[in-house]
Structure 1
Amino acid sequence: MDLRPSSSHIWTKCAAMPLMSSRVPPGDVGDPAREGTCAAWVAEMVLTGAVSTAADMVGQSHENGWLVEPDMAQHIQKYVDRVRSYGGEIHTERKVRLNQHIAGTPDAFAVLGSDHVLIVDDLKYGFGLVEPYQNPQVCIYAGAILRMLTARGVRVDRVVIGIYQPRAWSPAGIHRIWSCYPEELMSFVKTIEEAGNAAQNPNAPATPGAHCEYCDAAATCAANAAENYRVYERNASQQQRHMTVEELAKELDFLEMASDMLKGRKSAVEAEAAARMKRAETIPGWHMEQRAGQRRFTVPAATVRALTGLDPEVSKMVTPAELERMGASDAVVARITETPRTAPRLKKVAPGYYANLFKQR
């Protein structure tokens, strides 16, 4: 069974996921996925020289129907500039194979000559933060490329795993990296391959956890359902006492996992219910309700002005992002703006987060 690197964060934790997902009928592709695919397409077009700049793509639509807007073009151009700054030989959207079961297409990778550094970057256009440290998807790409280069006699002394995520804020910046030695990378890749081998077993057990949030098969998974029911029973307990700090940490971990599992199952079950309703099936107590967006004018501003006597185009100060889209220098805008700090919130520390943060500094 072929395994997709993009879902490796699930099947490395749940060996039953690939087979169960293969039995689920394809559903509609969500807007975040369509937008991300469009962003990757824009980057590929610029990096391959099909167009000069990302701005040239504004107004065009990907085959999935997503429109390239100025904001996307600006973000992707900065990503392209970052990749080009590496120098060396740059490859984009080139399929690589780790083994007979695992193959995929990295967004971009470069091999630098005299430094003997392999850089593998992945563009993430969504808002859910993705970290580079032992990221299974990008490590699969890097491991496959490293094996290919080694077989060709190319020397690699260091591997840099990069996540470029332009729209989600992180204290580590929009381009986060994990630098490691080839041996360190391949040691982790070996555990990924072992998980991939386990997924080939048709009787592989399902292992519920936080990864269920993104699993296509969550609606049909008995293990996921049973675990969610156990979560409910645990939260329904009437016994109370103050927790120790160690217990508090464990409880936070548990609640985060439980929340992700429940979100994953809710999303999958809702998608199945919606698909059945589209096929004219009736779900007792539920229906498909038409939603409405914000009102918008159907006539030009001049007509609105003539009919109401009011000017609908009241001038106002643009945002810093809009000013940059108009052509203002990023450096100048940075000097005349500030990013206010909002109230801090509790967040789980990702493995290797502090080590990676100190490396970058």
Structure 2
Amino acid sequence: MSKHALLSPSSAHRWLVCTPSARLEAQYPDSAGESAKEGTFAHKLAELALQRYVKTIGDMKYQQEVKALKSGKSRFGDYYTRDMDEYVGEYVDLVIQKFEDAKEKDTEAALLLEQSLDFSDWVPEGFGRGDAIVIADGTLEIIDLKYGRNTPVTAANNPQIRLYGLGAYNTFGAIYDIETVCLTIMQPRNGGESSEVLSVGDLLDWAVSIQPSAQKAYEGKGDLTPGPHCQFCRAAVRCRALAAYQLDMAKYDFKDADQLTDTEVADVLARTDELVTWANKVKSYALTEAVEHDVHWPGWKLVEGRAVRKISEPDQAAEVLSVQYGHTEDEIYKPRELKTITQLEKIIGKKTLADELAGLLIKPPGKPTLVPESDKRPEWNSAQNDFKAI
């Protein structure tokens, strides 16, 4: 079995809508970004903590493994921050609490970690891995850690965790009498816990409903369908359908904003961020291909960019300026300044910093910004915000 399924659960939101995308993506290298690597590190820390809880590893082994992961020698060492312990701890505490609650209802309750899940009866060659599974009292619960902070991920109608639930039921349904499947996502840095509860019948009905799309996706058939799901598609930079969708804004003929109708302004607002993101991806792809693969794009050439001067040996430079030429510290050093809250949280930890600076951390009202109506934040009220400012 390959490491990653062609129809992976994490990209199900894409291949269920744009069925040819999975085969197209397979033509491009899977270069995980910094966020993905950080998430992998967080998952490893969480797995170790839960292994210690269920006593598959001892305290000493746990300490050794965690120390090795956090060290500079580890390929994950650069991603460790003090607040990661707190965020990962929230997920670990949630799993433990759910299992402890389950044991009170059912003495035969089971906690399973990092289980291989097979849902190939509904999705060709479909498989994945479940972070944590609690089975008790007729209920199977999948608990999935999401460490990302920029995009909120909720469990409702989420095809990824539904596939995990499907795979878990397929694996354990013959062993346990399962009537209900609870699908839980824990995203400690953006929204916390969210769950969707389905009967086994409803989950299986959903599985049957996606079979035709999954088969098309496996065969690479169907129409290219651009939309928000294109954000992390590796084929996005070469997708003609996405290019046509993004460049469709040219239909407004670059009129001044006050010459557009209300509907046209709303359409531009809905497309702008996606257009900028897509354009930047195309630029990055073109540069990488030119530098690493000597690709010559028609009408473009590689040149040396603007270089910024820098001091190669700051300590030595300071010594020369002060000792040899008599410049004062005020002349050669910046004034001392406090690090940003984010930098301090990484060093001290988010909760610890909040406790230590109680009463000194403030959050002024944010500037108004336009977002889709589906955004969970309350609508901005100018009178209320003016009052807060006062």
TM-score (norm 2): 0.70
Q: 1:90 aligns with which of 97, 101, 111?
A: 111
1:236 is the counterpart of 2:240: no
Moved more, 123-132 or 186-195: 186-195
Asked if the contact 1:216/1:268 (under 8 Å) is kept, the reply is: no
Letter in 2 for 1:78: E
Q: Measure how far apart 1:135 and its partner are.
A: 1.4
Letter in 1 for 2:247: Y
Structure 1 unaligned runs (5+)? 355-361
1:201 is the counterpart of 2:225: no
Q: Percent identity?
A: 18
Residues 61 and 273 of structure 1: CA distance in aligned 2, closer, same or farther (over 3 Å): same
- Provide the C-alpha distance between the structure 1 equivalents of 2:204 and 2:362, rounded to a whole number of angstroms: 42
- Provide the C-alpha distance between the structure 2 equivalents of 1:128 and 1:314, rounded to a whole number of angstroms: 35
- Provide the C-alpha distance between the structure 2 equivalents of 1:115 and 1:296, rounded to a whole number of angstroms: 65
Partner of 1:47: 50
Letter in 2 for 1:79: Y
Asked if the contact 2:117/2:164 (under 8 Å) is kept, the reply is: yes
Partner of 1:106: 130
Asked if the contact 1:211/1:260 (under 8 Å) is kept, the reply is: no
1:273 is the counterpart of 2:287: yes
Aligned length: 340
Q: Measure how far apart 1:286 and its partner are.
A: 4.8
More relative contact order, 1 or 2 (CA 8 Å, 6+ apart): 2
Q: Measure how far apart 1:51 and its partner are.
A: 1.8
SS in 2 for 1:94: strand
Q: Measure how far apart 1:14 and its partner are.
A: 0.5
Asked if the contact 1:59/1:69 (under 8 Å) is kept, the reply is: no
SS in 2 for 1:197: helix
Partner of 2:155: 132
Deviations 1:141-168 (A, max 9, x none): 11211232323243233413223242x3
Q: How does 1:1-361 map to 2 (within 5 A)?
A: 2-24=6-28, 26=29, 28-49=31-52, 51-52=62-63, 56=67, 57-60=69-72, 62-63=74-75, 66-87=78-99, 88-99=109-120, 100-111=124-135, 113-114=136-137, 116-166=139-189, 168=190, 173-234=191-252, 236=254, 240=259, 242-243=261-262, 247=263, 252=266, 255-257=269-271, 259-260=273-274, 263-264=277-278, 266-283=280-297, 284-287=300-303, 289=305, 299=315, 309=329, 319=341, 321=345, 325=349, 328=352, 339-350=363-374
Deviations 1:312-346 (A, max 9, x none): 89585995846963984977877886554423433
- Provide the C-alpha distance between the structure 2 equivalents of 1:255 and 1:230, rounded to a whole number of angstroms: 13
Asked if the contact 2:91/2:145 (under 8 Å) is kept, the reply is: no
Letter in 2 for 1:226: A
- Provide the C-alpha distance between the structure 2 equivalents of 1:95 and 1:290, rounded to a whole number of angstroms: 50
Partner of 1:359: none
Deviations 1:195-214 (A, max 9, x none): 21121234422111222221
Deviations 1:78-110 (A, max 9, x none): 222222221143333222111143211133232
Moved more, 141-150 or 47-56: 47-56
- Provide the C-alpha distance between the structure 1 equivalents of 2:41 and 2:309, rounded to a whole number of angstroms: 23
- Provide the C-alpha distance between the structure 2 equivalents of 1:119 and 1:108, rounded to a whole number of angstroms: 6
Moved more, 86-95 or 64-73: 64-73
Residues 17 and 218 of structure 1: CA distance in aligned 2, closer, same or farther (over 3 Å): same
Residues 32 and 318 of structure 1: CA distance in aligned 2, closer, same or farther (over 3 Å): closer
Letter in 1 for 2:195: I
- Provide the C-alpha distance between the structure 2 equivalents of 1:280 and 1:317, rounded to a whole number of angstroms: 42
- Provide the C-alpha distance between the structure 1 equivalents of 2:336 and 2:93, rounded to a whole number of angstroms: 36
SS in 2 for 1:95: strand
- Provide the C-alpha distance between the structure 2 equivalents of 1:132 and 1:272, rounded to a whole number of angstroms: 36
SS in 1 for 2:86: helix
Partner of 2:386: none
- Provide the C-alpha distance between the structure 2 equivalents of 1:335 and 1:98, rounded to a whole number of angstroms: 51
Report the aligned-residue RMSD: 4.1
Residues 159 and 225 of structure 1: CA distance in aligned 2, closer, same or farther (over 3 Å): same
